[in-house]
Structure 1
Amino acid sequence: MRNVLKAETLERKFPLLSVENGCIVSKDADLTVAFEVELPELYTVTADEYEAMHASWIKAIKVLPEHSVVCKQDWFVKETYRPKTGGEEQSFLARSYERHFNERPFLNHRCYLYLTKTTRERNRRQSDFSTLCRGFLLPREITDKEAAERFLEAVEQFERIMNDSGHVRLRRLDTDEVTGTKEHPGLVEKYFSLSLEDGTAVLQDICLKPGRMRIGDKRLCLHTLSDAEDLPGKLSTDMRYERMSTDRSDCRLSFAAPVGLLLSCNHIYSQYVFIDSAQEILQMMEKNSRNMLSLSKYSRSNAVNQEWTEMYLDEAHAKGLLPVRCHCNVIAWAEDADEFRRIRNDTGSQLAMMECTPRYNTVDTPVLYWAGIPGNAGDFPAEESFYTFLEQAVCLFAGETNYRNSPSPFGIRMADRQNGIPVHVDISDLPMKRGIITNRNKFILGPSGSGKSFFTNHLVRNYYEQGTHILLVDTGNSYQGLCRMIHDRTQGEDGIYITYEEDNPISFNPFYTDSGQFDVEKRESIKTLILTLWKREDEAPTRAEEVALSGAVNAYIRKISGDRSVRPDFNGFYEFVSVDYRRMIEEKRVREKDFDIDGFLNVLEPFYRGGDYDFLLNSDKELDLTNKRFIVFELDNIGSNKVLLPVVTLIIMETFIAKMRRLKGVRKMILIEECWKALMSANMSEYIKYLFKTVRKYFGEAVVVTQEVDDIISSPIVKEAIINNSDCKILLDQRKYMNKFEHIQRLLGLTDKEKGQILSINQANHPGRSYREVWIGLGGTHSAVYATEVSEEEYFTFSTEESEKLEVQRLAEESGGDLEAAVRRMAEKRREEQRQTSTFKQERL
């Protein structure tokens, strides 16, 4: 049986001739320059910024010469997430985090821009003159070399205008990126295979039957906007996205967003703007207007069209608008027949969301697909375009993209708000380098139940695994699981958890150092500590008392430094003052009213051997915390103890300041969570003010976490020292405080854009995933909402639910104290329950 089907080779029909000097040259002598476009991230752009982007596009397009074509092509291709291993050894929690997202589907987005210089004749050709309909293609020669040079100059101006806009960045593609290499496919190969994969592209058979176009197993459907009647009565640069807006805030997306990232299927959204001779277009319009006027008595539609044409001409002449031709289309594809029907309907419904009339085109699919080949925009059929103004045409441009990974090697892993896949975010180093922030300090505000403890655990876990020294001050056992996990992994060398228990109280030795050296700051911290034990907060020491105390501390340090056999501790200091230092001040004839040594010893006696608090400053564990990388001070049990709390908080500050001073070139962080009683004392407040102002000079950052709005409103320490010196502000769900959020906004200096982003938190969470969203603002200029989604293993490690913590502890005891094994068992049990629930739902459906 003879095959009667018409078949042709791609080689014979291929419309491109070569790529020379970064320009794509077609066989019809069209020149095209290709760019990759970097758009702003989704949900981070305001209405004013969309207006600014719109104005930049208009300004740039106006520099292009007549008979140019602007083709903006947005690719949206479904891919699956591949875990980032990096080749280095990962911790148990890091591995579980990456596995949690393994093979999760997401919609990848790439945006390309093609600027084409063609001719007047090519710009007006119909679909039957497409290269697909010609028997053979004979390459033509570029005759007007000056026009080509002017076009390339205009392209450079176009690129400079867009890059200077601050919202959109263009990167010109080189020859290899267009044509490909032996290792990587080029843009043309990717288009013919409808794939963004950087691996080897496989070219498959292309079936060009109208209505049944197919590339390999991928069936294509095409929806077009090719008539002014298909558009709504009014076009705008942006639209209100209701799902993430409230009655007090707006979430804005570009007008074309419904056929962009909001259309969750494989598709390409192509936007064309054809720049013809404006004078010729207006003359043609004038002629059409006169013809319709003369025929108006035969048909009322002629009168209506004549009136619209006159309005178009009036707008063009009165406002100096540039008349252009425009076309937009959405090519979507699927391999399964049921999925094909679904995406066809979804595309139509998304166009309807834009108030456009969806036109499912079954006739011109092959021709419009062919015109979308990079560099082949000159092959576009003129009858598929409509006349409008440049301002309206640019409104149809898609204006946002997915969240991008930070190029910085340091950062944290957050989840993309739209796709739910990990994204690398640097909120410390790169913003500092770029001048977005001037310090790395962070202020975290989130009410109870907003996911605050999960976020902070996730933050410090990421920082610790990248070499940061972390000191945590907590009052709710929020970090007990993570600290124990680190303690077990390092075999007790790290992960130090210090808390007060009756049978195992907090114990320190302020006179112990690994090196045996006492620098100025160590001496001053000891003096401040003893002064806190000696005097009440409202009782200031005299100058003579300060000198006497300083002399006692320095004399004792000289003694223990000279005699290494003496074990330094507070007991030794007390005995030294009662005997040796008493003799010294008697020799100096220091009067009792200047320094009452007996009164001094009487006040310090509770901390001496046999006293009520003799355990506090006489630890026999010679532990110097300076070189420990993860330390948690749990103050919950001593939060109301007027004796222990000031002492412990001073020791905490001394520990961190020692890290600041001694650890050169090492990143360090102090995180204070819900410790407001500890912050209220006079001595502590001075430490906090000093810390927040100077920690940046020592490659460090201070983080304060709170859940009550009243804390930041009522505390002058927080208001003056912390908020003003924290360039990174992190807020979680604030819907509880929506009625008084204006006060929070004024206090934190938030813009209306940031307010809108914060109030959109958790408004449209994906029902199939468990996560909480968090807003991160940097320097008042860069901000975005991310998702804190953790693995099941991380969940049970970070959880603050008492029942879950007790169950983990019970399983750990059964496993011989192995917390990792207990967490793994709990995580697997929970995943099994979720699988059973999912199976049950599917069976019911």
Structure 2
Amino acid sequence: RADFESCPDSFLSRSSERFFAQRECMEHECYIFLSKRAPGGRLSSSALSNVLRKSLSPVELSDQVLVDGFLDSVGQLVRVMEDSGFVKMQRLDDDALAGTANRPGMLERYCFLLQKDEASVLNDIHLAEGIRVGEKHCQLFSLADAQQMPWVVGPRINYERYSGERTRFSVGFASPLGQLLAVNHIYNQYVFLGDAGATLKKLEAKKLRLHSLSSYSRENAVSRDAVNDYLNEAVAAGRLPVKAHFNVLCWSEDAAERKELGNLVSSAMAQLDAVAKLETDGRAQIWFAGLPGNQADFPMNDTFDTFLEQASCMFNLESSDRSSVSPFGVRLGDRLSGRPLHVDISDEPVSLGIATNRNKFILGPSGSGKSFLTNHLMRSYAEQGAHVVIVDVGHSYQGLCELMGGYYFTYSEQRPIAFNPFFLAEGDVMDTEKKESIKTLLLALWKKDDEDFRRSEYVALSNSLSLYFELLEARPDIFPCFNSFYEYLQSGYGAELERSKVKAADFDIQNFIYVLSPFYR
């Protein structure tokens, strides 16, 4: 969405707004739903789901004491998450959940697959032959069994597009199912915390049952060993046993694209070494359990046992980049979609404690865009009132300087670089500091680095400068520069040294004039 009101009133800035106006890009939203199962209630399954009940909320959950205890636990979680400094959580109010007369809420958006700013509209929902919401044809792919899961999970994987032979670009383990899956989709991640002791007790009974049947089937023996390894790790490492389920709900308004959607989701899961399952029989129950706040009624026969650490590796840990709230910054493009973002790489990192200074170092091979980036960076800073000074080697920034109406000083063999320390702008005064800097410059041009100067030479230089500036006051027609100072040394100052009876051993003016001759004219 273009913003012509706040963008700088320059040709490049407004052209950038027009270029990106109304372009499609991937949007991402993340919601965490914490649900409490009714105490003592029967676990749901594909055959027993509240999709067939009159009321979604069990009667037991109307107990205020139970609700207050649940809210206290949620408050502790929110505090821990926000104290990390990486997450900001906001509780959804009634309007955000149920919606208003003109704006759909979370319930309506999930049921009818509406976008964030899309107007409210009612659609028919068909569950007989696949899930269809109005004209949107949906497919549901799940990871509901341990056999479908990868053999190894972790917090990260390599993103091959930006990785090289010696370098690796890390993204979250489940990123192929999140931002990297370029279709309209919802990635649901379910983790169910239960009674750990009761869970381990059931698994112990299952292990004994498999052990008694192991003589009849080798598969039973393998399953017995797997359950035994799970129990050993739970006890030895203090792991928390949980049940988990993950699914991807994708959709398209073109029914012919359903096969392509399936290929994309299956390929994304294959990048994790996971096997996608297209839900057909239990899709209605799984879809309805994804209704915001209804996660506690998820069919538990579509979950698998794992540990909390392994389940958390399947969480989507990344989101779309957001523009900085800082008023100062530069416009950059999102890595995945190219969407323009306002980024502060100077002040904000310092204020957040990420960096302690504002130095920047741009490294890249020839043709990688170093000068292009620097041109863009300097233009953005100049438009925001920064004072920019560039030492340009190769005239890469001459066009930018002309565009911004700046001063560009260049040199060649015929016109070498030069500066005039003798010139004073209107209103300036030749104070002691400026005189000392000129004397230091003249001594550096006259003497070598390892060659010392005598006190008499320093005094003679001071006198020459004082007399020269007195001459400039008496003769306004003389332009203050090195050439006029050099001519004064040749003509007037030699006679002054003779009147003061300064010997050549104290100050050799002929040697001084000869050494400075290459800088004359």
Give the match for residue 112 of structure 1: 31
How big is the shift at 1:415?
A: 2.3
CA distance in 2, matches of 1:460, 1:257: 34
CA distance in 1, matches of 2:103, 2:496: 83
Contact 2:245 2:302 in 1 (8 A): yes
Range moving further from structure 2, 237-246 or 180-189? 180-189
Contact 1:210 1:365 in 2 (8 A): no
CA distance in 2, matches of 1:186, 1:518: 72
How big is the shift at 1:86?
A: 4.1
Range moving further from structure 2, 571-580 or 330-339? 571-580
Aligned pair in 2 of structure 1 residues 514, 473: CA closer, same or farther (>3 Å)?
farther
The superposition leaves residues 497-533 of structure 1 with CA deviations (integer Å, 9 ceiling, x where unpaired) of 2223577665654313243334555444433443444
Alignment root-mean-square deviation, CA? 3.2
Give the match for residue 254 of structure 1: 172
SS across alignment from 1:272: strand
Contact 1:224 1:360 in 2 (8 A): yes
CA distance in 2, matches of 1:150, 1:359: 38
Q: Does 1:152 align with 2:71?
A: yes
Give the match for residue 242 of structure 2: 324
Aligned equivalent of 1:162, options 81, 101, 109: 81
1:385-404 to 2 correspondences below 5 Å: 385-404=303-322
Aligned equivalent of 2:462, options 536, 545, 550: 550
Give the match for residue 365 of structure 2: 447
Give the match for residue 333 of structure 1: 251
1:329-368 to 2 correspondences below 5 Å: 329-368=247-286
How big is the shift at 1:397?
A: 1.2
CA distance in 2, matches of 1:193, 1:544: 93
Give the match for residue 429 of structure 1: 347
SS across alignment from 1:600: helix
Runs in 1 of length 4+ with deviation above 6 angstroms?
502-505, 561-565
CA distance in 1, matches of 2:57, 2:515: 103
Range moving further from structure 2, 255-264 or 513-522? 513-522
The superposition leaves residues 274-319 of structure 1 with CA deviations (integer Å, 9 ceiling, x where unpaired) of 1111122122222333333444455544444333333322332232
Q: Does 1:594 align with 2:506?
A: yes
Letter in 2 for 1:218: K
Structure richer in strand, relative to its length? 1
Contact 2:7 2:13 in 1 (8 A): no
Letter in 2 for 1:544: S
Contact 1:266 1:332 in 2 (8 A): yes
SS across alignment from 1:229: helix
SS across alignment from 1:446: coil
Aligned equivalent of 2:290, options 369, 372, 394: 372
Contact 1:122 1:378 in 2 (8 A): no
SS across alignment from 1:445: coil
Give the match for residue 726 of structure 1: none
CA distance in 2, matches of 1:250, 1:501: 45
CA distance in 1, matches of 2:131, 2:340: 36
Aligned pair in 2 of structure 1 residues 136, 253: CA closer, same or farther (>3 Å)?
closer
Contact 1:324 1:389 in 2 (8 A): yes
Aligned pair in 2 of structure 1 residues 264, 600: CA closer, same or farther (>3 Å)?
same
Aligned pair in 2 of structure 1 residues 248, 587: CA closer, same or farther (>3 Å)?
same
The superposition leaves residues 190-240 of structure 1 with CA deviations (integer Å, 9 ceiling, x where unpaired) of 43443443x353233141314432223222110011111211333333223
Aligned equivalent of 2:51, options 132, 137, 144: 132
SS across alignment from 1:470: coil
How big is the shift at 1:560?
A: 4.4
CA distance in 1, matches of 2:393, 2:70: 67
CA distance in 2, matches of 1:366, 1:564: 95
How big is the shift at 1:143?
A: 5.1
Aligned pair in 2 of structure 1 residues 357, 605: CA closer, same or farther (>3 Å)?
closer
How big is the shift at 1:605?
A: 4.5
Q: Can you give the 5+ residue segments of structure 2 that lack an aligned partner in the other structure?
A: none
How big is the shift at 1:267?
A: 1.0
Give the match for residue 633 of structure 1: none
SS across alignment from 1:156: helix
CA distance in 2, matches of 1:588, 1:432: 60
Letter in 2 for 1:160: R
CA distance in 1, matches of 2:215, 2:54: 47
1:26-425 to 2 correspondences below 5 Å: 82-122=1-41, 124-135=43-54, 140=59, 142=61, 144-165=63-84, 168-175=86-93, 177-180=96-99, 185-197=104-116, 199=117, 201-425=119-343
SS across alignment from 1:498: coil
Aligned pair in 2 of structure 1 residues 562, 381: CA closer, same or farther (>3 Å)?
farther
Give the match for residue 516 of structure 1: 428
Give the match for residue 407 of structure 2: 496
Relative to the length of structure 1, the TM-score reads 0.56
CA distance in 1, matches of 2:481, 2:381: 34
How big is the shift at 1:270?
A: 0.8
Contact 1:237 1:255 in 2 (8 A): yes
Q: Can you give the 5+ residue segments of structure 1 that lack an aligned partner in the other structure?
A: 1-81, 487-493, 608-612, 615-845
Aligned pair in 2 of structure 1 residues 519, 383: CA closer, same or farther (>3 Å)?
farther
CA distance in 1, matches of 2:105, 2:290: 15
CA distance in 2, matches of 1:478, 1:254: 39
Aligned pair in 2 of structure 1 residues 118, 91: CA closer, same or farther (>3 Å)?
same
CA distance in 2, matches of 1:241, 1:138: 43
How big is the shift at 1:186?
A: 4.1
Contact 2:33 2:293 in 1 (8 A): yes
Give the match for residue 28 of structure 1: none
Contact 1:204 1:215 in 2 (8 A): no
Question: % of aligned pairs identical?
Answer: 44
Give the match for residue 683 of structure 1: none
Contact 2:28 2:319 in 1 (8 A): yes
Contact 1:124 1:382 in 2 (8 A): yes
Give the match for residue 52 of structure 1: none
Relative to the length of structure 2, the TM-score reads 0.88
The superposition leaves residues 777-807 of structure 1 with CA deviations (integer Å, 9 ceiling, x where unpaired) of xxxxxxxxxxxxxxxxxxxxxxxxxxxxxxx
Letter in 1 for 2:297: D
CA distance in 1, matches of 2:456, 2:107: 85
Aligned pair in 2 of structure 1 residues 443, 247: CA closer, same or farther (>3 Å)?
closer
The superposition leaves residues 723-773 of structure 1 with CA deviations (integer Å, 9 ceiling, x where unpaired) of xxxxxxxxxxxxxxxxxxxxxxxxxxxxxxxxxxxxxxxxxxxxxxxxxxx
CA distance in 2, matches of 1:196, 1:331: 15
CA distance in 2, matches of 1:249, 1:346: 27
Bigger-Rg structure (1/2): 2
